Amino acid sequence: GESVGLHLPTLSVQEGDNSIINCAYSNSASDYFIWYKQESGKGPQFIIDIRSNMDKRQGQRVTVLLNKTVKHLSLQIAATQPGDSAVYFCAEKSGSQGNLIFGKGTKLSVKP
């Protein structure tokens, strides 16, 4: 069936370095993608989104890249900080009611 998945389950980076979290999706008809950050015991927090008519979108310290040719999505975090430590999920909008399909998640650990 259709699914959204992640290449790396865990990622450990040094404080100040850039982080890249990857996601593969399989539904070529998907037109909206979102990255969420989830800290332990909390709900997902919206980070950034992108529509399929765009290749790149930038926010504050974060950039999302979309490669529709290979159905790949990535989240780049610049100058990673300890507060960025969390699990990051990509999500794909699916269905007529706008429900999201979540990937497995990547745990980002930032070493001071």
Residues that bind other proteins (CB under 8 A): 32, 34, 36, 41-46, 49, 89, 93, 95, 97-105
- The structure tokens listed for 98 are 């706008």
CB 52 within 8 A of CB 71: no
Alpha-carbon span 45 to 35, nearest angstrom? 9
Alpha-carbon span 104 to 96, nearest angstrom? 23
Give least dist CB 43 to other proteins, A.
4
Give least dist CB 7 to other proteins, A.
15
By beta-carbon proximity to other proteins, the closer residue of 83 and 95 is: 95
By beta-carbon proximity to other proteins, the closer residue of 31 and 63 is: 31
3-state percent helix, strand, coil for the chain, nearest multiple of 5: 5, 55, 40
Give least dist CB 16 to other proteins, A.
27
By beta-carbon proximity to other proteins, the closer residue of 46 and 81 is: 46
